[in-house]
Amino acid sequence: MFRTGFAILLAGLIASWPGPQPDGSFMLGMVPVRIEGNGGRTLLVSAFEVSVAQWRQCYDSGGCSYLPVTPVGTDRFPITGVNWLDVNEYIDWANGRSGGGLRLPTIAEWRELNRPLAHAKPPPSFTDPRLAWAANYGQETVSVGPVRHRGTFSTTPSGISDLDGNVWEWTASCFNGYFGEETNNTCPAFVAAGEHEAVVSVFIRKPGLGGCASGMPPTHLGFRLVSDG
């Protein structure tokens, strides 16, 4: 009888014992940004792109299977050289630690974040919809040079930095020439955004060396996280 009662008490204690607490550090540095459209909503956005140090933490804990080669002293630089599949390993790991809700922005959300920094686009070279893939040929430029410290480039009034930097950012939007602008795990190429937009295969880590499906390929490719709160 005593053993039965003790077992019941122990089982109750185990059931009520608090599990691992979510790691709140992932939400630090996120700022609220008002997103217009559909009645308006607030999106939490990382002020900076995910850093080398943050990626290394994922790799060291077994959450990320790939670790790009990074120079010594660049822990606070944006992580680059990661493909869409690598990035989603990081997001899965981060959501497991944080309690969930972290994701990539859609291209529509990224455009809204970048709206204060956006420049007027020149008219397309072709108006025939069959040539839309080449309509901006020769008009796009890419910021070259080495990856620079986070916070080096412009900051929007909302507090989002480096959207105009030389690191392009993966988005959750499949190229609409395939399935439409939505997250789709079977999509072969997603939109990456920066000084202009490019479409990059999910396998490509360094689009500057080739593999860009559409648009001038960026030199460096990284990402930042958002949350719906």
- pLDDT band of residue 72 (cuts 50, 70, 90) is confident
DSSP state of 175: P
191-207 residue pLDDT tens: 999 888 888 999 999 88
Question: What is residue 124's predicted lDDT score, i.e. its pLDDT?
Answer: 59
Higher pLDDT, 32 or 10: 32
Q: 28, exposed or middle or buried, with CB in 10 Å at 0-12, 13-18, 19+?
A: exposed
Q: Find the mean pLDDT for residues 27-48.
A: 88
With a CB cutoff of 8 Å and minimum separation 6, the contacts of 214 are 133, 175, 177, 189, 198, 199
82-131 residue pLDDT tens: 999 999 999 999 999 999 899 999 999 999 999 988 755 555 555 656 55
Two structure tokens written together for 10: 């122990």
CA distances in angstroms from 172 to 115, 128, 200, 224, listed in the order given: 18, 28, 12, 11
Q: What percent of the chain has pLDDT over 70?
A: 70
Question: What is residue 132's predicted lDDT score, i.e. its pLDDT?
Answer: 56
Question: What is residue 130's predicted lDDT score, i.e. its pLDDT?
Answer: 55
